[in-house]
Amino acid sequence: MKSFAAGRKARSAPLYSPRGPRLPDRIVELFEACCRTDRRACLFLVGLCLVALLPGFFSIPPVDRDGARFALISRHMAETGNLSETRLGWEAKRTQALGLHWLQAGVVKAAELVGVPDAPTRIWLYRVPSLAAAIGAVLLTFWAALAFTHRRAAVLAASLLASSVALGVGGRLAVPEVFLVGSVAAMMGAMGRLYLAERQSRGAGDWRQSSHEARLAFIFWSALAFSLFTKGLVTPLYVVLPLVALVAVDRSALFLRRARSYAGLAVILAVAIGWFLLRRYGPAETQAEFVVRTLLGPVAGEYQGFAGLPGVYLLLFFALFWPAAPLAALAFPIVWKARRIGTVRFLLAWVVPVWLLFEILPTKVPAYVAPTLPAIAILIALAVERGALALGNMRLARVLWLWPLLGAVIAVGALLGMAVFDRTTSVLAWPLLLIGFFALVIAAASVRDYGVEKSALVAIAGMLVSGFGVMQLVLPNIDSFWMAPRVAAAAAREPCGAGAGPIEVGIAGFNEPSFALLMPNAPRFLDGAAAADFLKVGGACRVVFVERRQELRFARRAEAIGLRIQRGADLRGFDYNGLREVRLAPYRPG
């Protein structure tokens, strides 16, 4: 096998002095040391995930829509004890998967038991299951890759996934998509081993399932059951399509017999029956819970994606899988030529049918293609391991200049957003962003001297440095993006007389669930006219925040009912979901 560290013994890179620190060499030496045993590899990958995901994990406020919606539902479960109710506000009956909500509610209850103050309003507690799932997805990608490559290439594949933007976003949000990535990696890793075993024993007359294959089959079905429990009925799509593609290409379905597992089917059946019984015969919503839920009002709906033509996911791929996406572009022609090899065929079947389906569908949601990223990472590592990315033609390597290009776009975009929206900057972030950009330039400029593997590791290191600057020092401090924390803080500062009780808050024109999550007591999501009625019938300890598009209705209704009001200072920000400016004005009874 050709050396996986191609380029290590080449001449000194032009951007480094022979007597300099030679940090890229130290990065490769650390990588080599961590690849010597499976235990070291797993510890290295866990550490890499923590370095990649913890910046911003505690400091980024609740992100509007899906992340905040999941957290708010879990909070209601923890507070009411009703583990089957997944509705918010006036929504009709919902049948989404319950697994993530149960995990989040369990973390919140555990935090309350150990004395974490205001645990139900702390978003990072709801992110803990996603962080654990992201680490699990990386480790399962490493395990899956071992079916197709050697340990070192498997560590590289898992490292590419761990450093990707897609996993960085999913691991910081309280959403179930990262659970799906790990579950699909486990299912396809087990099925890949069974598929390759069938190819190796093709023609054998007497076949019997070995104990090892029985364990792999159980892993497959258990991962499917867990994904159904956490994500829902979309999960089988990521398994059925690849298996159908393999059967069609091979004209044989004999490898499926190795996936027989009665214990695994029992797990699937238990999940299905439990879900049905809980939905059909679970505890009914009490009158008090119904009143609290309906008083919340019309909460903003889930993110439904956007309309796009075929090819949109291919463009999004360079953002989702950065910094590994340029390597995928470099490896694709070589991988496609090797598509008849069993390992490559299976990995392509993991990716291509799912990708084509979602490209054809008119609605585009970036998370839909995330479960294919482990397979793409393994294909890249497999190409590097086999020496297929030896850069004889440097014209192909020009695609690696996307590393500093996209890195500069991300860094400049973050700093520009801070300057435009808040008219400030982060002095501490500048050095980190410059160091990260410089590392990406080195990785792209010195690929002939370093080799692809070493350049990729330097690019990952640069991404981690610049990622810390963006996620920890820039993004959490763009106050204009985070309206909900500012409104919650303004509500907490409202003066209430002694004995008036807790403040009651209404809001019109900004019905994001992130605001309800941050409030100690549930607010009221209203329109402009209802906000005036809310102030009229309440006591002195009430306040409403009215968005400028609702102010005319609010003023007309207040005049009609003879309501005297006082207006406070405006709160201005930016709604990144609607791509519009937001201005909220607080009103209290006059």
CA quadruple 19, 24, 30, 31: dihedral, nearest 10: -150
Task: Give the pLDDT of residue 487.
Answer: 94
Cα–Cα nearest to 331, from 395, 397, 394: 397
One-letter amino acid identity for 69?
Answer: R
Q: Residue 473: count other Cβ atoms within 10 Å of its Cβ.
A: 21
Q: For tokens 């999960």, name the residue.
A: 235
* Residue 201 structure tokens: 């024993």
Cα–Cα nearest to 289, from 518, 73, 544, 533: 73
The pLDDT tens digits along the chain (590 residues) read: 344 444 444 444 444 445 444 778 888 889 999 999 999 999 999 999 999 999 999 999 999 888 899 999 999 999 888 888 888 888 877 778 899 999 999 999 999 999 999 999 999 999 999 999 999 999 999 999 999 999 999 999 999 999 999 999 999 999 999 999 999 999 999 999 999 998 888 755 567 888 999 999 999 999 999 999 999 889 999 999 999 999 999 998 889 999 999 999 999 999 989 888 887 777 777 777 777 778 888 888 888 878 888 989 999 999 999 999 999 998 998 899 999 999 999 999 999 999 999 999 998 999 999 999 999 999 999 999 887 776 555 567 788 899 999 999 989 999 998 998 888 999 999 999 999 999 999 998 888 888 888 899 999 999 999 999 999 999 999 999 999 999 999 998 888 766 667 788 999 999 999 999 999 988 999 999 999 999 988 766 889 999 999 999 999 999 999 988 889 899 999 988 878 899 999 998 87
**What is the distance between the alpha carbons of residues 572 and 420, in angstroms, rounded to a whole number?**
13
CA distance between the termini of the chain: 81
Q: Do β-strands 565-567 and 542-547 pair in parallel, antiparallel, or remain unpaired?
A: unpaired
Task: Give the pLDDT of residue 499.
Answer: 61
**What is the distance between the alpha carbons of residues 90 and 73, in angstroms, rounded to a whole number?**
13
Q: What is the pTM (predicted TM-score) of this model?
A: 0.92
Task: Give the pLDDT of residue 205.
Answer: 58
Task: Give the pLDDT of residue 200.
Answer: 85
**What is the distance between the alpha carbons of residues 122 and 580, in angstroms, rounded to a whole number?**
27
**What is the distance between the alpha carbons of residues 141 and 292, in angstroms, rounded to a whole number?**
43
* Domain ranges across the chain: 393-478, 482-589
Class of domain 482-589: alpha beta
Task: Give the pLDDT of residue 2.
Answer: 42
Q: Do 389 and 383 meet the contact criterion of CB atoms below 8 Å apart?
A: yes
